[in-house]
Amino acid sequence: RIVMDMAVTLMRSSYDVTDLLDICPMDDFQTQFYKKRVEYQSEYVSAFFTKENVNQRAGSVMIGDLSDPQYFDFISYVQYAVINDQINLNRKVFEEAQGVFGDEGDFENKLIVRDPKLGDRDTIIKLHGERVGDMVLDHLVQEKGLAVSVKERPGIDVLCDNFKKILDMLVENGFCASYTIDTSVKTSKPDPMRTPSQQPYDIRGDRCISVTFERPINLWSQQALV
């Protein structure tokens, strides 16, 4: 199972960044989130029964329980399906209802104008992923005691060590069962007119880091969203 505050952080950070980047009116986001959850929930739950016997469970899903990996996988699919839909609408100027909602809600409509620098879909997607990652990392550092070495241009060994610390904490908090981390080298061609110290990159080649998760909690949702 997922540690609850970790599950909440993952969901909340995605929601908060969507709001911070002014991707869409958040009152509309919540409406579409509810509709899409209702639309797909029965179909998702039915997948946990065998085809031969509709009364025989092939697995289980606890609806509404974020700490249940099966439910988290579903609800994160719903969340990012809505985020993708809203990004594709590309609303740069819109009205958003802000305040307290309910039978006696106190709210007002405000005009929102997105930063012109965020007019490109690819830019928004890239920045959304970065900001969500930053929020999750902040949670691991501030709330979970993660200690990583931060330098302007860290070496590959320092990066690998930091990755392992982060990944170990993700496993500890139930994000995945395990992981593998590998490094490889992509050979480069040095400039024969320059000395080794003058090369614009490491003449030994570009070193790459590859991480593979075993049974992550968003395994199905990430494949379904492709």
Q: What's the rounded Cα separation, in Å, for the pair 17 and 199? A: 39
Q: What is the pLDDT of residue 164?
A: 92
Q: Burial, 25: exposed, middle or buried (Cβ in 10 Å; 0-12, 13-18, 19+)? A: buried
Global pTM value: 0.81
Q: Within a 13 Å sphere around the CA of 9, how many CA atoms are in the beta-carbon half?
A: 23
Query: Using one digit for the tens of pLDDT, what is the confidence trace for 127-164?
Result: 999 999 999 999 999 988 888 877 776 777 888 888 89
Q: What's the rounded Cα separation, in Å, for the pair 188 and 142? A: 39
Region for 102 from its dihedrals, namely left if φ exceeds 0, alpha if ψ lies in -120 to 50, beta otherwise: left
Mean pLDDT (the chain, rounded): 85
Per cent of the chain over pLDDT 90 is: 55
Q: E-strand spans in the chain?
A: 93-100, 106-113, 178-186, 206-214
Q: What is the pLDDT of residue 212?
A: 92
Q: Please, what are the averages of pLDDT over each run of 10 residues along the chain (226 residues)?
A: 94 96 95 95 81 59 90 95 95 87 70 90 94 94 84 77 92 94 73 69 66 91 86
